A and B are shown apart, each in its own frame.
Chain A
Amino acid sequence: MTNQFKVTLLRVLAIQVITLLLLGWLQQHYSA
């Protein structure tokens, strides 16, 4: 894996994790 690919992969994964956490919070907070 090239460094550029690693950086891109990490960036995309980080954004996805943040999005999933937000969606998880939405579900948890409002479904209670």
Chain B
Amino acid sequence: MHPLNWAIVVGWLGYAVSHGIRRSKNTKELEGYFLGNRSLPWWAVGLSVMATQLSAVTMIGTTGQGATDGMRFIQFYFGLPLAMVILGVTLVPFLHGARVYTAYEYLERRFDAKTRSFTALLFLLSRGMSASTIIAAPAVVFSAVFGWNLWWCVALIGVPAVIYTMVGGVQAVTWVDVKQMFLIVGALLAVVITLLIKIPLSPNDALHMAGSAGRLRVFDFSFSLTNTYTFWSGLIGGTFLMLSYFGTDQSQVQRYLSAKSVNEARSSLLISAYWKIPLQALVLLVGVLVFVFYETHEQPLLFNPTNDRTVREAEPAKYAALEQRFHAATSLAARDSLRTAAYELTSTVTHQAVKDVRKADVNYVVPRFVIGFLPIGLSGIFIAAVIAAAMNAISGELTSLSTATVIDFYRRWIRHDAPESHYLIVSRAATVFWGIFACIVAKFAVNLGSLIEVVNRFGSFFYGSILGVFLLAMIPRARANGAFVGLIAGMAAVGFVNFSQPDVSFLWHNVIGAVTVVVVGMALSLAQPQAVEAARAS
């Protein structure tokens, strides 16, 4: 990498860490450390909510998806604005008004300790693993593109985030998120402008080229339980997913618990309601324009440099023949079919599934463009923005993992009455523990490609079910046993659907889980008083 790019990346990391530490005030008490004394302004909280959701996968994977599959991924977010409005009148006032540290703490007040501990444990398991995948995804790309040692890539992303999160808690996380959101959006806009300059077509013709290749196809109105990217999956399944994520996941709930008031918490969520879809459109547009750029320039047959090198060495004659035909091909369809043949050849050589080879290749489309074609300086800014996105997501997860560990387990079950200073030491230690855990698992996650998918699938088992428990919490007649048994039933229902109908999209798992929990939980809760009365009468 060019020294100027290095200077930009290192300079930004230094700025992020020092800014996070500088903006942390009154972190000598738990409320200051975990919730910023509930005094953060709504716009900062709102940007932090968006930043936590936008990880390096968005910068690398989603842009790549825009280049290879077009804009249809945006349908995934169609339920988000509606979910934000619903949360604004349901869970946000409940959670903010209860003055809790974690969403799960509220469940003990409403139901019982076992429901709280079980949901908090599910959160720790799923988020602990997903924190590692957040680091692993960009680390493996950096390692392959720059030839850096993988441990070094993991440390480059993980260590700065751990430092400022450990020292400054949620305030450091929020204020660094705000600054990094500006860097990320600025970098995306700069790349779009550069692409429009570099593509030898007018913007209108470039969009016509993308459109004729199907890259601007946004809407698919077919109703399919197996396709994640349709209008109905996004609107219905997406609403439930976003309700679960923003309403019950501590990594998001903690953001708006730190707002000054319920109204400010609501306003912070509405920033996502207004801006998430346009932001995602910008991310995908980068990919679409990179596609047009490659259509007007010579492009590699395989974007993944590791696979390119491996296949070139193992099957030089076959690969050279494919490459020659690829460069001579005059139509997009011909190039697509030759690239598929290259994926199959890679699959034979590396013993990976063809779909995994294809999926991994997508992640290198934009990084290869950034390294090969962006001007020096701008490429450094984009790389800094990818690391910033990873740090935003990881810091949000670390602070929420630490909060749930200390509040829902350590303070609840191990030491109830220790001084604040003791809990603070434990909280900082928990942040460092989860940071090291995420970095170590990230190192091994990259060698177990399917682990990321396993983690996502595991999360989808109970995401909707936890939402169901929170929905029950808002129904006055719901009882603790109903909620707990409903939670188990919801997870069992999702597990059954997952194994009996593996093609059903995970978006629908949330709907199945939430509905099962509410139905079973209410049935048991309504039956409970009658059973008690019958016992009394007898």
The residues of A with any CB-CB pair to B shorter than 8 Å are: 1-2, 5, 8-9, 12-13, 15-16, 19-20, 23-24, 26-27, 29-32
Q: Are B281 and A30 in contact (CB under 8 A)?
A: no
Bound-complex Cα distance A15 to B208 (A): 26
Q: Is the CB of B85 within 8 A of A31?
A: no
Q: Which residues of chain B come closer than 8 Å to A26, judged between CB atoms?
A: 71, 207, 211, 216, 218
Contacts of A31 in B (CB 8 A): 211-212, 214, 216-217
Other-chain contact of A8, B74, B211, B270, B278 (Cβ < 8 Å): B270
Q: A27 with B211: in contact, given A12-B85, A19-B278 (CB under 8 Å)? A: yes
For the complex, what is the distance from the CA of A5 to the CA of B71, rounded to whole Å? 31
Chain B nearest CB from A3 CB (Å) reads 12
Write the residues of chain B forming the contact surface with A, with a CB cutoff of 8 angstroms.
71, 74, 78, 81-82, 84-85, 88-89, 207-208, 210-212, 214, 216-219, 266, 270, 273-274, 277-278, 281
**Would A23 and B85 count as touching, CB distance under 8 A?**
no
Q: How many angstroms between the C-alpha atoms of A10 and B273 in the bound complex?
A: 12
Q: By the criterion CB–CB under 8 Å, are A16 and B219 in contact?
A: no
Contacts of B74 in A (CB 8 A): 23
List of A residues within 8 angstroms of B214 by Cβ: 31
Please name all residues of chain A whose beta carbon is closer than 8 Å to the beta carbon of B217 when the two chains form the complex. Answer: 27, 31
Find chain B residues with CB under 8 A from A32 CB: 211
What are the 3 A-B residue pairs with the smallest beta carbon separation, nearest first?
A30-B211, A31-B211, A23-B218
Majority secondary structure, B binding face? helix
Give the complex CA separation of A4 and B277 in angstroms: 23
B219 is contacted by which of A15, A23, A30 (Cβ under 8 Å)? A23
- Does B218 contact A12, Cβ atoms closer than 8 Å? no
The smallest C-beta distance from B46 to any residue of chain A, in angstroms, reads 14
Contact check: which of B82, B85, B219, B273 meets A27 at CB < 8 Å?
A: B219
> Given A8-B88, A12-B84, A19-B278, A24 and B219 touching (CB < 8 A)?
yes
Q: Bound state CA distance, A15 and B274, in angstroms?
A: 7
Extra inter-chain contacts (18) besides given A16-B78, A19-B278, A27-B217, CB under 8 Å: A1-B89, A5-B85, A8-B266, A12-B270, A12-B274, A13-B81, A15-B81, A15-B274, A23-B219, A24-B218, A26-B71, A26-B218, A27-B216, A27-B219, A29-B211, A30-B208, A31-B216, A31-B217
User: In the complex the two chains form, what is the Cα distance from A1 to B212 in whole Å?
Assistant: 45
Given contacts A27-B211, A31-B211, contact A8 B85 (CB under 8 A): yes
User: Which residues on A sit within 8 Å (CB–CB) of B89?
Assistant: 1-2, 5
Q: Which of A2, A23, A32 has the most CB of B within 10 A?
A: A23
| Residues of chain B with a CB closer than 8 A to A27's CB | 71, 211, 216-219
B202 to chain A, nearest CB (A): 13
17 A-B pairs whose Cβ atoms sit less than 8 Å apart in the complex: A2-B89, A5-B88, A8-B85, A8-B270, A12-B84, A15-B81, A15-B273, A16-B78, A16-B82, A19-B277, A23-B74, A23-B219, A23-B281, A24-B218, A30-B212, A31-B214, A31-B217
- How far apart are the CA atoms of A20 and B280 in the complex, in Å? 13
Of A5, A9, A13, A16, the residue contacting B277 (CB under 8 A) is A16
Contact partner of B207 among A5, A16, A30, CB < 8 A? A30
CA distance in complex: A19, B77 (Å): 12
A16 — which chain B residues lie within 8 A by C-beta?
A: 78, 81-82, 277
A32–B78 CA distance with the chains assembled, in angstroms: 24
- Given A12-B85, A16-B81; A23-B211 close (CB under 8 Å): no
Alpha-carbon gap, A28 to B295, bound state (A) = 22
For A20, the chain B residues whose CB sits under 8 A away are 78
B71 to A: closest C-beta gap in Å: 7
CB distance from A19 to the nearest CB of B (A): 5
> Which one, A5, A12, A23, A30, contacts B82 given CB within 8 A?
A12
Per the bound structure, the CA–CA distance linking A5 and B78 in Å amounts to: 20
Name B273's contact: one of A1, A12, A24, A30 (CB within 8 Å). Answer: A12
The CA-CA distance from A23 to B502 in the complex, in Å, is: 32
Report A28 CB to chain B, min CB distance, Å.
9
Q: For residue B218, which residues in chain A have a CB less than 8 angstroms away from its CB?
A: 23-24, 26-27
A-chain residues with CB within 8 Å of residue B71 when the two chains form the complex:
23, 26-27
Most central of A8, A24, A32 by chain B CB within 10 Å: A8
CB distance from A14 to the nearest CB of B (A): 10
Nearest to B281 among chain A residues (CB) is: A23
